[in-house]
Amino acid sequence: MSHKNVTGDTTTPAELDAFRELQRLAYRAAEDVAASLEPGVTEREAARRIREHLESHGVRDWFHTPFAWFGDRTAFRNLRVPLQFFPTRRRLEKGMPFILDCAPVRDGYVADIGYSGVLGRSPLHDRLVDDLGAHRDLIVERVRAGDTLQDVYRAVDDLIRAQGYDNRHRVYPGRVIAHQVGRVRSRLPRAIVAGFGVRSLQTLFGDLLVERLHHRSPLWADGDISAHPATPGLWAVEPHIGFRDMGAKFEEILVVTEDDAFWLDDDLPHVRHRTPAAVPLSA
């Protein structure tokens, strides 16, 4: 299957395989680091472990460097400025939730993933991760039906409220639930500025300019700029839900063609985690 993306290039089956391989590598890094976490490790140390894991597998560039959030920071409570999103010296404790997020670039291909876990056991955290599965189903079904991105975003909001949670991706810069990804084609030297790769940022800003000319955006939020169906291409989608001081999310690539939409890979940790739907929580 092939389709046109926003830059006019054709994404071939072989290229989709390359995106899928990198996404799986990123999730394996998150799983391996999650398994290595112990009480006392800091967010910065967890993020460093992810970076070293991926660099040992050929990653030399980044859309953004790894993030790690522990405890109530998984629900993005009191995060108001971009610098507060970066890893801190917060230490992990037993029973504490965590989110690991990374966006490696390899051979021009990009992955952007989010992995939710907990140190020990937490039925509440298990339920949050299970309930994210309904959002995964809803998003692909509504995009496939041709709904506007704005309407899909609002449907996700409605489902979050029905489940008894609150929307945490609205705290992200621009309130985005997703952004487009594609091949990074830049002659700039590899460099990181404020946690983001300059080559990837150049690609994103180029897409932003092109899409704005068509009154669209490669950033998916709930504003009027998203009042159009999904542009064919690859979207890194990250619904993020919270219950009090605990949050959970996933992030993975959604493939959108002229007449279809599908998740790039169904063999991912949060998909394998799913159990029958649970009764919604009451706040």
pLDDT given for residue 199 in this prediction? 82
* Rounded Cα–Cα distance for residues 260 and 1 (Å): 10
Dmax (CA) of the chain: 52
Strand duo 233-237 + 178-181: pairing: antiparallel
- For the purposes of burial, counting CB atoms within 10 Å of the CB of 144, is it exposed (0-12), middle (13-18) or buried (19 or more)? middle
pLDDT given for residue 274 in this prediction? 79
Q: What are phi and psi of 195, to 5 degrees?
A: 85, -5
E strand segments, the chain: 3-4, 10-11, 61-70, 97-106, 109-110, 113-118, 166-167, 178-181, 192-193, 196-197, 219-220, 233-237, 240-243, 246-249, 252-256, 261-263
pLDDT given for residue 216 in this prediction? 78
pLDDT given for residue 212 in this prediction? 61
**DSSP codes, 230-251:** PPSEEEEE--EEEETTEEEE-B
pLDDT given for residue 200 in this prediction? 78
pLDDT given for residue 83 in this prediction? 80
pLDDT given for residue 187 in this prediction? 78
Encoded tokens for 107: 């051979």
Mean pLDDT by 10 residues, the chain (283 residues): 38 94 98 98 98 97 96 92 90 98 96 98 96 98 98 98 97 94 86 81 70 76 94 97 98 97 97 63 44
How is residue 273 annotated by DSSP?
Answer: T
Write out the H or E segment, with its range, that includes residue 86: none
Q: How many CB atoms lie within 10 A of CB 189?
A: 7
- Domains (ranges, CATH) in the chain? 3-272 (3.90.230.10)
Give the 3-state secondary structure of 139-168: HHHHHHCCCEHHHHHHHHHHHHHHCCCEEC
pLDDT given for residue 80 in this prediction? 79
